[in-house]
Structure 1
Amino acid sequence: MTINDNNAAPSRPMEPIKLDNLLISFTTEFQRVWDTKNLRSSPAGFWRPAPPPDVLPGYFSMGDIAIPGFANINGTNVAAVVREADSPSIDSTKGKALRRPDNFELVWKDSGSGAKTYVSIWRPIPPEGYVALGLVCASDHEKPSVNSVRCVRMDLVTPATAGPLIWSDKGSGAKQNFSAWSIEPPIAEAGEICFLPGTFTGVQSHSRPSSYLASYALRVPLTVQSNAAPATPMLSGFGSPSPIEPATVTQVTRLPWFAVRDDMHPLEQLRLSPYYRLERADRYVLVGHEHNAGDQYRSVKWTAARAQNASLLQVFNRLTAIEFDRAWPIRTPGDDWAIRFSASLTKTFTHTETSSGGWGKFYPLEVVALAAKNTMVAVYQLQSEYRLLRVDNTAVTFGVEYSDDESLFLSQYPSEKDAMITCPSPKASDHEQGEASFGQDEIPVLPTEQVMVTTDTAP
């Protein structure tokens, strides 16, 4: 028997996630389809997302929700729901983002269990070019309505796998065996986020599903807004240059609420800050300067400290879950994310270098320059600060910094011909032994990278 539980707090609309002609939003309102109180099995409840028509008009479920236990999930759980965008696909050959299922295939029913009520679980059969993202329950043995769920166009999803067990009918006495499993998103590629609507999959056995069982996650690109880079500093005289140039916000990416850990409940995040802004501000920092008043070239050397700090990076990750050099979240026992997902930032956003190994470099950088006669020279290094902001522009936590040893800039006064900067990469063997501690006046065990800054002006 279907029981209506609609006592959840009213939902607040958010700007939907747009993927081509698909709109994705979230609801905290559900309708209970059935539970296992009448079965001789472990407790479980099966719910259908019920987006309120006055808040989320035209939105549909992609499948039902299964939970262990009999708790009322209204106002405590969240599920993704979808609707067709008003504008068509940018590719006119692709058609609609959503379609009704053509039919349903019976997966399990409670025949033989002796339960007082009938229940059954069905798999939607999608039209060609579309996929079903979850199973659908019924409080009888009849097929669900084709309007109870929507299938998603195949190019808008990515394959997923079965996750932890939610429930099995073991002990129910039903003629058929059945087990319900959560779905695990794949590890996101750089520049995308893969997330699940909250649906479940299932098989006619008590064993874990094999890899051939089709499961899917939504896949959305993490777009980056780019602004002009800061102007390279130029010397205008023989006086000491400024040690730090003004910072410029050069790149901004927007993260959905469920991909960020904050010091509020996830559903408060959905209500108060449905999106977060992760921004990168770049600036040039002075590595060193030298006034060569003589009439010969002079070699000068400075040591540039890394802006990266291993301890601060660990704390930033613990507070926000965000990783800069790999996908997150890193799965640990007891994870309780409102929406299961995997996200990975673009390499152009997290690394100004051509190599992605910079976030693991904490040892100092040695910089060598040649100062021409009667010349002031200065070498600058590009440094970035990353800040995570809520919708109201408050910071979630402190910012973290990153320095780029490939973006070194030479300025000289008086201005001569173009300077040449090279940054040879260290050999792999240079780093195989890891980092070593060293005192204030000691040289680190590992060879430091050298940057040779030269000009083509004759002495």
Structure 2
Amino acid sequence: MESIKFGNLLINFTTEFNWIWDNKGSPNASPVGFWRPVPSADFLTDYFPLGDYAVAGHHNINKKIVMAVVCEATPQTEDDRINGKALMPPDEFERVWDDKGSKAYSDGSIWRPIPPSGYVAMGLVASRGYDKPSRNSVRCVRADLVIASYINELIWNNKRSPAKLDFSAWSISPPGAAAGEVYLSPGTFVGAASYTKPSMHIAAYSLRMQIPLHTAYPPPAPALSGDRQPAPFEKAVVSNISKLAWFTVKDPNLSALEQLRTSPTYRLERLDKYVLVGFGHNKSSLNQSFKWTATRGQNGSSLKTLTHTTGIEIGTEWGFNVWGASGKVSAKLSGGFTHTQTSSEGWTTSTAFEINATVPAHKAVAVYLVQSDYKLLRENGTQVATDISYTDGDNVYWSEYPPARECEVTCKPLPAPGS
């Protein structure tokens, strides 16, 4: 897939791993294996892991797990140049645990990278034997390119092992994403020489990235060309496209690995069209009032279907496990794309309101709202789930004939039932 760029950081994915160490032979111990992501030599030259992968078992994870790897990008902006390199090797390693006394067939140890000032370590690193890993085994990330995260689920501990030291490995979970951003736990782990969940002083981080949004000029509002009632709908125009990475979408027809191979990106398209909600023709010689009822917010219940099928929430953040215990994601679409900059309740409720127009003598007026239809498409153009639709009731458009601006159009909420 094309690498995801955030500042001067490139993010991509690998399904290839090198076995580092496991605890085969350790009596009574729960099985565990530690694997290092291997960037593809053909496609991901100069990419590095952010940490190792811990799995509660002795099975081979190659071609079964996806994990993020990173690369330094050429600076494109002055900020990139001022901020410095996106990636740096660790200054040193601190031993967190070793398996002495475990009676495993081979010796192993776990190390915490010590990052340079202004950088953070994204996960722990395993070593076969008791020597510290190479500084080139992993990269640390500049602090502004990541987000502080939570220590989440237990992956493994050695509670029943005869090893002298206690140890537990834990997954990382990102916080709720800000509008227009994605936070991704890359599949690394944190741990401590104890069986309890590490306290918050043990740092955990997720990668930050933005949801690319392509915005076109909105279609012009319709103009009355006579005193006859116009068509109920204007032609729909694709006004916005949000490009979603594969790991932010649950595809009902594809596994995570199949998504990465066949649809590494998805397009959530917004098509806008003007919908006629009222037309009045004042044929008299006095001002005349017209009144119509319109509905703002979600049209129908298809939003629940979209969320159930794909995991995507409109108007708020969403998140899920991308693969296994690691690789959690949190994402949120921008407020302008979802209309939630002006309305925070429209996606959960539909409300009726009244539009009033005062029309001068011998004049016609047409009143419109914008309806936005959303489609989620795979990279090959096939559609995922059903369309969803939203009517923006916060902006009302009208056109007059003859075109001099003389009408007065106002909106007000309808009284609650029984009031």
Q: What TM-score bracket applies, with the shorter chain setting the length?
A: over 0.9
Deviations 1:93-134 (A, max 9, x none): 211111111110000001122333210000001111111000
Q: Distance in 2 between matches of 1:401 and 1:270?
A: 28
Matched, 1:174 2:163: yes
In structure 1, the partner of 2:21 is: 34
Q: Does 1:341 align with 2:329?
A: yes
Give deviations 1:227-256, integer Å, cap 9, x for gaps. 100110111101120100111111111110
**3-state DSSP of counterpart to 1:319:** helix
Q: Which residue of 1 aligns with 2:373?
A: 385
Ranges in structure 1 where 5+ consecutive residues have no aligned partner: 1-13, 431-443, 448-459
With normalisation by structure 2, the TM-score equals: 0.94
Match of 1:105 in 2: 94
Distance 2:136 2:55 in 1: 23
Task: Kindly indicate whether residue 51 of structure 2 is the aligned counterpart of residue 63 of structure 1.
Answer: yes
Compute the RMSD of aligned alpha carbons.
2.0
Mapped partners of 1:161, 1:446: distance in 2: 47
Q: Out of 233, 246, 252, which is 1:244 matched to?
A: 233
1:187 correspondence with 2:176: yes
Q: Report the identity percentage.
A: 47
Letter in 1 for 2:183: C
Q: Distance in 2 between matches of 1:37 and 1:338?
A: 22
Query: Which residue number in structure 2 is paired with residue 19 of structure 1?
Result: 6
In structure 2, the residue corresponding to 1:382 is in which secondary structure?
Answer: strand
Query: Aligned partners of 1:335 and 1:403: how far apart in 2?
Result: 36
Partners of 2:136 and 2:50 lie apart in 1 by 11
- Which residue of 282, 285, 288 corresponds with 1:298? 288
Q: C-alpha separation between the residues in 2 aligned to 1:322 and 1:270? A: 18
* In 2, Cα distance between equivalents of 1:129 and 1:273: 35
CA contact (8 A) 2:23 2:104 kept: no
Return the offset for 1:425: 6.9
CA spacing shift, 1:421–1:33, aligned 2, 3 Å: farther
**Corresponding residue to 2:345 among 357, 363, 376:** 357
Q: Deviations over 1:169-225 (max 9, x none)?
A: 111122211100001111111111000110000011000111221010011122311
Task: Identify the residue that residue 257 of structure 2 maps to in structure 1.
Answer: 267
Q: Return the letter of the residue paired with 1:178.
A: F
SS in 2 for 1:363: strand
Report the CA distance shift for 1:89/1:95 in structure 2 as closer, same or farther (over 3 A).
farther
Shift of 1:325: 1.3
Q: State the 1:87 CA deviation.
A: 3.5
Q: Distance in 2 between matches of 1:110 and 1:306?
A: 62
Q: 2:363 aligns with which of 375, 392, 398?
A: 375
Deviations 1:38-83 (A, max 9, x none): 2231112111001121121111100000011222111111000001
2:200 matched to 1:202? no
**CA offsets 1:120-174 (integer angstroms, 9 cap, x no match):** 0000011111110000001100000111101111110010111100000111122
- From 124, 136, 140, give the equivalent of 1:151: 140
Q: For structure 1, which segment, 380-389 or 391-400, has the greater mean C-alpha deviation from structure 2 after superposition?
A: 391-400
1:205-220 to structure 2, matched below 5 A, reads: 205-220=194-209
Matches within 5 A, 1:270-285: 270-285=260-275
Q: Deviation digits for residues 365-395 of structure 1, max 9, x if unmatched?
A: 3222222211111110111011111111221
Instruction: Verify the 8 A CA contact 2:357 2:410 in the aligned structure 1.
Output: no
2:149 equivalent to 1:160: yes
| Unpaired runs of at least 5, structure 2 | none
- Higher relative CO (Cα under 8 Å, sequence separation at least 6) belongs to 2
> More deviation in 416-425 or 291-300?
416-425
Query: 1:411 Cα deviation (Å)?
Result: 1.1
Residues 337-361 of structure 1 deviation map (CA, whole Å, 9 limit, x = unaligned): 8831100011111007623221122
Query: How far, CA to CA, are the matches of 2:176 and 2:74 in structure 1?
Result: 31
- The match for 2:303 among 313, 316, 319 is 313
Distance in 1 (CA, whole Å) between partners of 2:57 and 2:303 is 38
User: Does residue 398 in structure 1 map to residue 386 in structure 2?
Assistant: yes
8 Å contact from structure 2 (residues 292, 356) kept in 1: yes
- Pick one of 309, 328, 337 that aligns with 2:318: 328
TM-score by length of 1: 0.86
* Preserved CA contact (<8 Å) 1:88 1:96: no
The Cα shift of 1:336 comes to 5.2
Partner of 1:255: 244
Quote the residue 1:436 is aligned against: none
Q: Aligned partners of 1:199, 1:61: CA distance in 2, in Å?
A: 9
Which residue of the partner structure matches residue 441 of structure 1?
A: none
Relative to structure 1, is the Cα distance of residues 89 and 228 closer, same or farther in structure 2, using a 3 angstrom cutoff?
A: closer
Question: What's the counterpart of residue 417 of structure 2?
Answer: 445
1:17 and 1:367 mapped to 2: Cα distance?
A: 46
- Structure 1 letter corresponding to 2:15: T
CA distance in 2, matches of 1:193, 1:418: 47
Give the conservation status (yes or no) of the 8 Å contact 2:212–2:244.
no
Give the structure 1 partner of residue 121 of structure 2: 132
* Structure 1 residues 446 and 398: CA distance shift in structure 2, 3 A: farther
Matched residue SS, 1:357: coil
Question: Tell me, what secondary structure is at the counterpart of 1:349?
Answer: helix
> C-alpha offsets along residues 6-42 of structure 1, whole Å, 9 cap, x if unaligned?
xxxxxxxx10000111110000011111112222311
